[in-house]
Amino acid sequence: MVGGGDSKKLKVEENLYEPVHPQLLISIEKLQDVQDQLQKINEEVNDKVLEIEQKYNEIRKPVYENRDQIIKSVPDFWLTAFLNHPALGELLNDEDHEIFKYLDSLEVEDNKDVKSGYTITLNFKPNPYFEDAKLIKTYTFLDEGTTKITATPIKWKEGKGIPNGVDHQKKGKKRDLFYVSFFSWFSDSEEKDDDMDDIHDEVAELIKDDLWPNPLTYFNNDIPVDAEVLGELGYEQIDEEDSGEDDEDDDDDEEE
């Protein structure tokens, strides 16, 4: 979105010792008028962008539905895509691997107005782990700038469930990528709380903005090497100079 925040009038405080030049005040007032014009344009742009996003979300729907039907014919598609993802793969423990073999489809859907939130839905085949066929986690962005997170309570079958009853670890207001299980992340939800402003769920964002748009990339393990993205995920980029030195060493060995 372009711009943001309410337009604030610029103020020039008079110096205690030197009066403000009238021309300076005039210039600042003119600049403020220009900023007000830009703010109005930015607000119009935001409205247009929102309309376009809503339009193309509807256009994508039948394409996603067709993709979903094809994915269902590929054994362990979502399990493989998750495991090949450099960050999401770390969420799945050994038992999760077995559970994900029953994952029939994954859906990510924006709210109708796009900007108020989104929903992640996991559809499972009948399985020996829980009664639920559909697990839903919803993120609602509230007017106060907070986020309300709700999740389907998982009805685990006897003897199954998150190990030792440990749900998650979180540091401050930002949810960490460390979880005992993918399902401990799924069960991690927050109602609106005065102490939980600006809730940030990196796992949900990776599913929504990275995995969901093109899961085939990860299923094929054809991950583009982007230094900035890998750096954010905690991976180090291979130094090209070091790589070149290794190549030179190999060439020397071949000559010998």
Question: Is a pLDDT exceeding 60 seen at residue 44?
Answer: yes
Give the pLDDT mean for 186-204.
Answer: 64
Q: Are strands 147-151 and 117-124 parallel, antiparallel or unpaired?
A: unpaired
For 124-179, the pLDDT digits (tens) are 999 999 999 999 999 998 887 788 899 999 999 998 887 533 343 444 444 444 56
Of 191 and 96, the structure prediction assigns the larger pLDDT to 96
Quick one: pLDDT at residue 200? 57
For 228-243, the pLDDT digits (tens) are 554 555 545 444 444 4
Q: Which pLDDT band holds residue 72 (cuts at 50, 70, 90)?
A: very high
Q: Are strands 147-151 and 170-171 parallel, antiparallel or unpaired?
A: unpaired
Quick one: pLDDT at residue 42? 93
Give the pLDDT mean for 2-14.
Answer: 49
Quick one: pLDDT at residue 10? 47
126 near 133, Cβ under 8 Å? yes
Q: In Å, what is the CA distance from 166 to each residue of 2, 182, 200, 224?
A: 41, 12, 20, 35
Question: Is a pLDDT exceeding 60 seen at residue 15?
Answer: no
Q: Which pLDDT band holds residue 107 (cuts at 50, 70, 90)?
A: very high
Give the pLDDT mean for 36-47.
Answer: 92
Q: What is the mean pLDDT of the chain?
A: 78
Percent of the chain residues past pLDDT 70, beyond the cut: 68
Token pair for 200: 């940030």
Q: Return all residues near 126 (Cβ < 8 A) that are at least 6 apart.
A: 102, 133
Q: Which residue has the tokens 């992640």?
A: 120
Quick one: pLDDT at residue 226? 53
Q: In degrees, to the nearest 5, what angle opens at C-alpha 86 toward C-alphas 163 and 229?
A: 135
Q: In Å, what is the CA distance from 34 to each residue of 11, 28, 29?
A: 15, 10, 9
Q: Which of 23-32, 33-42, 117-126 has the lowest mean pLDDT?
A: 23-32
Question: Is a pLDDT exceeding 70 seen at residue 123?
Answer: yes
**Buried b vs exposed e over 205-219: b needs ≥16 C-beta within 10 Å?**
ebbbebbbeebebbb
